[in-house]
Amino acid sequence: MIVTNKDLSEFNSLQIAVNAKYYIECKTDSDIGEAFRFIKKNKIKFLILGEGTNVVFTKPYVGLIIKNLFKKEKKIYKNKVKISSGYNWDRFVTFCIKNSLYGLENLSGIPGTVGAGPIQNIGAYGEEISDYIEHIEVFNFKTGNVEILNNMNCNFGYRDSLFKKNKHLFIKNIFFKLKNKFIANNSYQDLKVYRFKKASDLRKSILKIRNKKLENYMTRPNVGSFFKNPLIKKKDLKILISKEADLKFYKHDSLIKISAAWLIERCNLKGMRFNKARVSNKHSLVLINEDKSPNSILKLKNKVKTIVSNKYNIRLEEEPTII
């Protein structure tokens, strides 16, 4: 089951061509067990990979890539759903709508697996996955045990969770708690003009907006937003506004969330090219890779960070996992 020197270019949406020393596809509990024993025996590092739409491979991977294809569970219990992590996220959203279970429709069209959703607490159009997770079943690759983490234990935050720092936890199954009644969340600017009676209509509008605003990663390899929106303290906002009166920002708990796209555009970086990578003309948070090597995109993202930092003294943080 474990293969060697596997080319990963088909398994990451930037289409970077790096090899993994070892590679296994995990469809069953016994595959997970095999991966566990192999890691312990050979004392090697490992990485769980979903659909590879939020990872940046920077060099050959000298450990075991565990490709998640685990699809054991898909069960509805009244307004709750237990779903295995290897299912495709967007197909799961459609499944929920078809079964009159609501809440996830604003997260329509996000690429990737169900199991990767909690890692960076995926969010879009005023919703985050963490609002609908009851608990998560993980396989602990340090101990070999299956553990249950309640929502509170997952330390969900803005594009953040406990899983980002605990890469030995393989999300196996997720228990979602959804709504039986559809109440549209059209708080996002582009959706405010509509009155949605059906979740399927809201989904259609979201897909239309995403299609217009974002780049298709199949034809223009990308990982969605490359940078998080920076969070700053209220006192620092005053200084920024004194320089930039039309700064785009939002309240975020006790902090202020600044639009990273706005900062990048103000630095005239939209459309900027560096060798075989460029900042998208459609959306300035999206970096497009046109190379099999990671060099261009890594240099481009460093250039963007440096220019924004020099102008605004704000450090942009990468959203995808850099490997």
Ligand X SMILES: Cc1cc2nc3c(=O)[nH]c(=O)nc-3n(C[C@H](O)[C@H](O)[C@H](O)COP(=O)(O)OP(=O)(O)OC[C@H]3O[C@@H](n4cnc5c(N)ncnc54)[C@H](O)[C@@H]3O)c2cc1C
Is 137 or 240 the residue whose CB approaches ligand X more closely? 137
Identify each DSSP E strand in the chain by its residue range: 3-7, 19-26, 46-49, 55-56, 61-68, 74-77, 80-84, 123-124, 127-128, 133-140, 146-150, 169-177, 231-232, 249-252, 255-258, 273-274, 277-279, 287-289, 321-322
In whole angstroms, the minimum distance from the beta carbon of 276 to ligand X comes to: 18
CB 234 within 8 A of CB 256: yes
State the catalytic residue, choosing from 13, 225, 280, 284. Answer: 225
| Residue 49 DSSP class | E
Q: In 148-233, where does DSSP find H-type helix?
A: 199-213
Structure-token pair, residue 298: 């890594």
In whole angstroms, the minimum distance from the beta carbon of 297 to ligand X comes to: 13
In whole angstroms, the minimum distance from the beta carbon of 65 to ligand X comes to: 9
State the catalytic residue, choosing from 134, 215, 290, 319. Answer: 319
- In one letter, which amino acid is 115? G
For the question of residue 319 being annotated catalytic, the response is: yes
Is 103 or 224 the residue whose CB approaches ligand X more closely? 224
Q: In the chain, where does DSSP find H-type helix?
A: 29-42, 89-98, 199-213, 234-243, 260-266, 295-312
In whole angstroms, the minimum distance from the beta carbon of 180 to ligand X comes to: 25
- Residues in contact with ligand X by the rule CB under 6 A: 13, 47-55, 68, 85, 110-113, 115-117, 119-120, 122-124, 163, 170-171, 214, 217, 222-224, 321
Structure-token pair, residue 315: 């450090």
Look-up of token digits 């997770």: 133
Query: How many Cα atoms occupy the beta-carbon half-sphere of 97 within 13 Å?
Result: 21
Cα dihedral across residues 141, 142, 145, 148: positive or negative = negative
Tell me the Ramachandran region of residue 131: left when phi exceeds 0, alpha when psi lies from -120 to 50, beta otherwise.
alpha
Is 26 or 308 the residue whose CB approaches ligand X more closely? 26
In whole angstroms, the minimum distance from the beta carbon of 167 to ligand X comes to: 6
Is 100 or 166 the residue whose CB approaches ligand X more closely? 166
In whole angstroms, the minimum distance from the beta carbon of 83 to ligand X comes to: 12
Task: Tell me the CA end-to-end span of the chain in Å, nearest whole number.
Answer: 24
Query: For the sheet containing 169-177, what is the strand order?
Result: 74-77, 80-84, 169-177, 133-140, 146-150
Structure-token pair, residue 78: 């009244």
CB 51 within 8 A of CB 68: no
State the catalytic residue, choosing from 159, 203, 266, 278. Answer: 159
In whole angstroms, the minimum distance from the beta carbon of 171 to ligand X comes to: 4
Is 8 or 240 the residue whose CB approaches ligand X more closely? 8
For the question of residue 51 being annotated catalytic, the response is: no
Is 85 or 205 the residue whose CB approaches ligand X more closely? 85
For the question of residue 159 being annotated catalytic, the response is: yes
Is 107 or 240 the residue whose CB approaches ligand X more closely? 107
Could you tell me how far CA 36 lies from the centroid of its own chain?
25
Q: Which residues are marked as active site?
A: 159, 225, 319
